[in-house]
Amino acid sequence: MRLLLLACLRTHTGNATTAARIQSHLHDAGHICILKDASRCESLTEIANLTSADQFDAALAIHLYKGGRHLQGSKIPFGIIFGGTDINEDIRSEEKRRVMGAVLGEARFAVAFTTKMKELAAAEWPDASKKIYVQYQGIRTAPTETFDWCRFLQNADIPADTEDLHLFLLICGLRRVKDPLYLVDVFSDWHRKEPSVHLGIIGPAVDPLLTHEMKEKIKRAPGVHLLQEMPQDDLHAAMRRCFAVVNSSISEGMSAAILEAMDLEIPVLARNIPGNAAIIKHKDTGLLFSDPQEFVALSKSLMNDPIMEREIVTRAKDYVKKYHSWECERKAYQNLVLRLQ
């Protein structure tokens, strides 16, 4: 089949990574899968023209609203993959909820990353519950073996010779829902007392206004660094050398950065929200915090207890192996697209 895959494809974002992964799965099955950036569609008629010109046999979209709305009334069959903001954010808008319901009604199938996400969607659109499948994200990490850690620290303005350096990495697109400023003040206060701790915030500047706000705030926040985004294999290499990966989002579907850290055997400290709690069991496969002060307290306990750290990363690695298999995800999508024939 020749498939169209619609998603917001901003470089180095979770959506782009997920889309590329699904594209790879479908190519492996012998399909042709063409990516189209939903955020750059000039109008709804642009996709309508694509799907009515015999260019594609079927389509997929990531996000019911951001991607799926372009497929409403499509002349070709399509499937939908839920995004993190579908149920957590977009559903609060009456107009977006109406559109998402219509898209779900037309879709041959829908994929939710967690059972909880499926339950929430089924409660909102009960008629569609039987067509919603749960498929956890598949994870495969490949760190750059020649990664220059010292250069990375130098570019981040982090002293490479800091004794007992503890670098925490917050990996996210710079937008409000990721709340990248949530820990800046408390972390900076901590750094003033313990200069060996540093927080690096890394990700694409999705929201220019927020990015400017962050740059100004971080100028006055010692120990906090806004880092340049980088290719995924380099990012994985940096993650492997840091002390812990952090997530401070207001809402999440399923954070690939958290799962990648688990796979790389790096501790994770994540904000206690449903999307994070769905993949992290507190003090078992990671640490969940409810406020900035608890984040610091948990970080200190992790730094002071290497046995706990080792046990957490070992269980987290086992969890990813069991539930986030790349091969299982590949088979799932290869089977699902057969429903579009």
Helices and strands (DSSP H and E) totals, the chain = 14, 12
Question: Six-digit token pair at 294?
Answer: 């608890």
Q: What is the pLDDT, as a whole number, of residue 42? A: 61
* Gap between the Cα atoms of 180 and 184, Å rounded: 8
Q: What is the mean pLDDT of the chain?
A: 92
Give the tens place of pLDDT for each residue, 115-141.
888 998 999 999 999 999 999 999 999
Q: What is the pLDDT, as a whole number, of residue 152? A: 93
Q: What is the pLDDT, as a whole number, of residue 12? A: 67
Q: What is the pLDDT, as a whole number, of residue 162? A: 67
DSSP state for residue 136 in the 8-state scheme: P
Q: What is the pLDDT, as a whole number, of residue 9? A: 82
Q: What is the pLDDT, as a whole number, of residue 268? A: 98
Average pLDDT over residues 286-292: 98
- CATH fold group of domain 2-138+325-340: Rossmann fold (3.40.50)
Q: How confident is the model at residue 88 (pLDDT cuts 50, 70, 90)?
A: confident
Question: Six-digit token pair at 279?
Answer: 């993949």
**Span 149-323 CATH architecture:** 3-Layer(aba) Sandwich (3.40)
Q: How confident is the model at residue 291 (pLDDT cuts 50, 70, 90)?
A: very high
* Gap between the Cα atoms of 145 and 106, Å rounded: 46
Q: Where are the domains of the chain?
A: 2-138+325-340, 149-323
Q: How confident is the model at residue 53 (pLDDT cuts 50, 70, 90)?
A: low
* 3-state DSSP assignment of residue 119: helix
Q: What is the pLDDT, as a whole number, of residue 153? A: 92
pTM exceeding the 0.85 threshold for the entire prediction: yes
Average pLDDT over residues 242-269: 95
Please determine, for residue 294, whether its predicted confidence score (pLDDT) is greater than 90. yes
Of the candidate ranges 162-171, 189-198, 292-301, the one whose mean pLDDT is the lowest? 162-171
User: What are phi and psi for residue 57, nearest 5 degrees?
Assistant: -90, -30
Q: With contact defined as beta carbons under 8 Å apart, do 238 and 169 qualify?
A: yes
Q: What is the pLDDT, as a whole number, of residue 44? A: 62
Please determine, for residue 205, whether its predicted confidence score (pLDDT) is greater than 70. yes
The residues, ordered by sequence, that sit 6+ positions from 285 with a Cβ below 8 Å of its Cβ are 262, 268, 279, 312, 315, 316, 319
Give the tens place of pLDDT for each residue, 271-281.
999 889 999 99
Domains 2-138+325-340 and 149-323 share a fold: yes
Q: What is the pLDDT, as a whole number, of residue 91? A: 83
